[in-house]
C-alpha cells in the first residue's frame, strides 16, 4: 500500500462516498492540492479534516493540503507556489534559473512567481507574487512553467543587493551559452528599470569582454595600477604570430608592451572541465613562445590585491629583461 495514499478508513468519510484516488494523484503529482480541488474530486471535508488531524496529511499555506508528511521537496515547494498564484502564473528569478541548469545563485529562499497585473497579490511564507504588465510566455522546465531564461536571469539579478553575485550569475549564463549579452540587454531594455542598476553595470562589463566575476575584479586592480603609472593591460585579446598571422591563444589580460599575459584560473569560474584542458594547453603554448605568464586564483584578487599588484609588476619586470616575442595582439575574434 502506498504510504502517501493510505486507504480510506470508515470514520473518514460517509460509507457511501467514493473517491477516484487516481484522479487525485493526477491532480496533485507533487503531493500538494488545494482544499477546493480535493472537494471537487469528491474528497469529503471530513476526510480532509480526519487525515490532517491524524497526521497523514498536513495543512499548508492558504487552503493547500500536503498529501504527505516530512520536509517538502523542491518540486513540492514549486508546485505549491504555482497553485497559490493561480492560472497563467510562471516561475521566475532564482527558482526558474535552477530549472534551466544555472548554478551561480543564492541558497534556495523566496520563490518568485510572476502573475498578470490585474491579479490580487497573495504572498505567503516563502512565495513572492510579482504582478507584471508583461506576462511572459511559459517555457516548461522539468514540468513547471517558467519565464524565458533571460527574464528569469534578470529577475534574479533584480533581487540581489551585491554586485559580485550578479556578475557570477550573468557571466555563467553567457559563458555557458545559455544566452547572449544582446538577448539579455534586449530583455533588460523592455522591462522595468526598478532594481536593474547592478544588472546594467554587469551587462556593460560583459559587452566589454569580461568573462567572469573574477575577471572583473582583476580589471579593477588593473585600473588602479594604471592610475599608478603601470602600462595598460588589454583584455581577452587574440594573440597571433607576427610572421604568419596564425592565432595562438587569448589570455585574460595582456601587457602588449612586453608580451606578458595575466590569467585568472579556477575550476569554480571556468565551469567546463574542457576549459581546464584548454587552459593547460594555452600555458604550454605561451611557454613555447616565450610569453611571461602570471596567474592568480579569484580568492586572492579579493583578499590580497596588494600581493596581486606586486606579482603582476614582477612579471612585467621579468618580461622587460628579455626581447619581446614577435607576437601581435588583435581584437577578440
* More confident: 224 or 276: 224
Tell me: pLDDT of 25 over 50. Answer: yes
Q: What is the mean pLDDT of residues 305-328?
A: 96
pLDDT value at residue 16: 47
Mean pLDDT estimate for the chain: 86
Neighbouring C-beta atoms of residue 182, cutoff 10 Å: 10
Say yes or no: 100 and 144 in one domain: yes
Say yes or no: 294 and 320 in one domain: yes
Q: What is the mean pLDDT of residues 180-193?
A: 92
Look at residues 157, 187, 207 and tell me which one is the last residue of a structural domain: 207
Tell me: pLDDT of 279 over 80. Answer: no
- Note whether 252 and 218 are within 8 A (CB): yes
Tell me: pLDDT of 5 over 50. Answer: no
Say yes or no: 233 and 303 in one domain: yes
Q: pLDDT confidence of 268, banded at 50, 70, 90?
A: low
Query: For position 248, which CATH number holds?
Result: 3.40.960
Say yes or no: 46 and 104 in one domain: no
Query: What is the pTM for the complete model shown?
Result: 0.69
Look at residues 14, 48, 70 and tell me which one is the last residue of a structural domain: 70
Closest C-alpha to 149, from 208, 101, 106, 108: 101
155-168: per-residue pLDDT in tens? 999 999 998 899 98
Q: Report the alpha-carbon distance of residue 242 to residue 221 in Å, rounded.
A: 30
Q: pLDDT confidence of 266, banded at 50, 70, 90?
A: low
* Count: domains in the chain: 3
242-254: per-residue pLDDT in tens? 999 999 999 999 9
Residue with cell 532564482: 94
Q: pLDDT confidence of 273, banded at 50, 70, 90?
A: low
48-89: per-residue pLDDT in tens? 888 888 888 888 777 778 887 778 888 988 988 898 888 899
Say yes or no: 124 and 196 in one domain: yes
Q: Report the alpha-carbon distance of residue 300 to residue 62 in Å, rounded.
A: 48
pLDDT value at residue 272: 53
Say yes or no: 283 and 188 in one domain: no
Say yes or no: 109 and 153 in one domain: yes
Say yes or no: 38 and 111 in one domain: no
Q: Residue 15 in 3-state DSSP?
A: coil
Q: What is the mean pLDDT of residues 260-267?
A: 83
> Which range among 27-31, 287-291, 295-299, 317-321 shows the weakest confidence by mean pLDDT?
27-31
Which range marks the domain in which residue 225 is found?
A: 213-330
Q: Report the alpha-carbon distance of residue 73 to residue 205 in Å, rounded.
A: 37
Q: What is the grid cell recorded at 124?
A: 505567503
Say yes or no: 80 and 184 in one domain: yes
* More confident: 94 or 24: 94
Say yes or no: 32 and 103 in one domain: no
Look at residues 41, 70, 99 and tell me which one is the last residue of a structural domain: 70
Question: Could you tell me where the DSSP H helices lie in 163-232?
Answer: 163-175, 181-190, 197-207, 213-227
Tell me: pLDDT of 324 over 90. Answer: yes
Q: Report the alpha-carbon distance of residue 235 to residue 262 in Å, rounded.
A: 9
Say yes or no: 87 and 173 in one domain: yes
Say yes or no: 29 and 115 in one domain: no
Amino acid at each position: 500500500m502506498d504510504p502517501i495514499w493510505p486507504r480510506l478508513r470508515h470514520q473518514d468519510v460517509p460509507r457511501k462516498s467514493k473517491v477516484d484516488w487516481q484522479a487525485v494523484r493526477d491532480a496533485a503529482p507533487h503531493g500538494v492540492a488545494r482544499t477546493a480541488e480535493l472537494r471537487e474530486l469528491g474528497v469529503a471535508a471530513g476526510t480532509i479534516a480526519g487525515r490532517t488531524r491524524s497526521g497523514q496529511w498536513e495543512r499548508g499555506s492558504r487552503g493547500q493540503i500536503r498529501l504527505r508528511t516530512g520536509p517538502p521537496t523542491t518540486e513540492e515547494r514549486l508546485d505549491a507556489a504555482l497553485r497559490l498564484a493561480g492560472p497563467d502564473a510562471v516561475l521566475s528569478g532564482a527558482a526558474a534559473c535552477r530549472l534551466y541548469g544555472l548554478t551561480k545563485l543564492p541558497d534556495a529562499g523566496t520563490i518568485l512567481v510572476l502573475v498578470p497585473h490585474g491579479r490580487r497579490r497573495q504572498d505567503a511564507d516563502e512565495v513572492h507574487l510579482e504582478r507584471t504588465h508583461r506576462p511572459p510566455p511559459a517555457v516548461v522546465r522539468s514540468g513547471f512553467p517558467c519565464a524565458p531564461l533571460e527574464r528569469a536571469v534578470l529577475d534574479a539579478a533584480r533581487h540581489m543587493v551585491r554586485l559580485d553575485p550578479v556578475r557570477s550569475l550573468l557571466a555563467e549564463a553567457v559563458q555557458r551559452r545559455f544566452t547572449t549579452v544582446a538577448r539579455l540587454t534586449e530583455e533588460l531594455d523592455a522591462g522595468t528599470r526598478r532594481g536593474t542598476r547592478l544588472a546594467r553595470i554587469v551587462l556593460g562589463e560583459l559587452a566589454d569582454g569580461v568573462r567572469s566575476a573574477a575577471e572583473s575584479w582583476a580589471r579593477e586592480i588593473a585600473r588602479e595600477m594604471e592610475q599608478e603609472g603601470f602600462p595598460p593591460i588589454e583584455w581577452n585579446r587574440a594573440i597571433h604570430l607576427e610572421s604568419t598571422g596564425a592565432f595562438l591563444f587569448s589570455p585574460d589580460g595582456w601587457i602588449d608592451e612586453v608580451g606578458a599575459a595575466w590569467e585568472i584560473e579556477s575550476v569554480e569560474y571556468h565551469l567546463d572541465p574542457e576549459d581546464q584542458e584548454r587552459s593547460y594547453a594555452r600555458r604550454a603554448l605561451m611557454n613555447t613562445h616565450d610569453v611571461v605568464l602570471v596567474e592568480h586564483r579569484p580568492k586572492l584578487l579579493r583578499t590580497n590585491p596588494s600581493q596581486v599588484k606586486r606579482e603582476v609588476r614582477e612579471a612585467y619586470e621579468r618580461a622587460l629583461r628579455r626581447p619581446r616575442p614577435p607576437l601581435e595582439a588583435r581584437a577578440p575574434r
